[in-house]
Amino acid sequence: MRSKDVDGSISSLVTRLADALGRLLTEHLELAKLELKGDAKALATLAGKLAVSIPFVLVGYAFLCAGLCLFLSRWLALDAVVASVGGANLILGGLLAYVAMRRLNQQKVMDDTLKELSRSVSVLAPDGHPKLPEAVRERRQ
């Protein structure tokens, strides 16, 4: 009779474990989906704001460069002024693009999902969880 109770409790524990793992996987997928939606919405909002402001910035910048060229042409030849202003813009634009790419590479996407998944893996990993007794961890290996 004792073996029946043990078998019943083991099977119920295995069933509960399978249910819990299924729920855990479902929750991870839901978290990933929600975080991905949030990240996509934030990026879309930012892209929309940029799309509206870029034409104004470009026109203003073009007039500023033209004014600078006309101002400097009082002392230098116009072709030298245009070339120097163009070169300065090229260098400045390259530096700004480099800084923007570095920031983009450092951007954390789906960071919360990765943290939660990492926690789950550390608990379910073959070497066990650090809070488990040593004997249980040895049996798992």
Task: List pLDDT tens digits, range 97-124.
Answer: 999 888 878 777 677 777 777 777 777 7
Are residue 27 and residue 49 in the same domain, yes or no? yes
User: 78 by DSSP, 3-state: which?
Assistant: helix
Name the token pair of 74. 């009082």
Number of domains the chain is built from? 2
Give the containing element (helix H, strand E) for 127.
none
Residues 35 and 78 in one domain: yes
Enumerate residues 6+ apart whose C-beta is below 8 A from 128.
136, 137, 140
- Tell me: do 15 and 58 sit in the same domain: yes
Cα-based distances in Å from 63 to 27, 57, 59, 80, 131: 54, 10, 6, 18, 66
d(C-alpha 7, C-alpha 77), whole Å? 95
pLDDT digits (tens, 9 = 90+) for 30-65: 888 888 888 888 888 888 888 899 899 999 999 999
So what's the pLDDT on residue 134? 52
DSSP structure string for 33-59: HHHHHHHHHHHHHHHHHHHHHHHHHHH
Are 102 and 132 found together in one domain?
Answer: no
**pLDDT interval class at 131 (50, 70, 90):** low
Q: What global pTM score does this model have?
A: 0.48
- The dihedral built from the CA positions of residue 17, 18, 22 and 23, taken in this order, carries a sign that is negative
138 and 69 inside one domain: no
**Residue 104: domain span:** 2-109
Mean pLDDT for the chain overall: 80
103, 118: one domain? no
Tell me, what's the pLDDT at 44?
A: 87
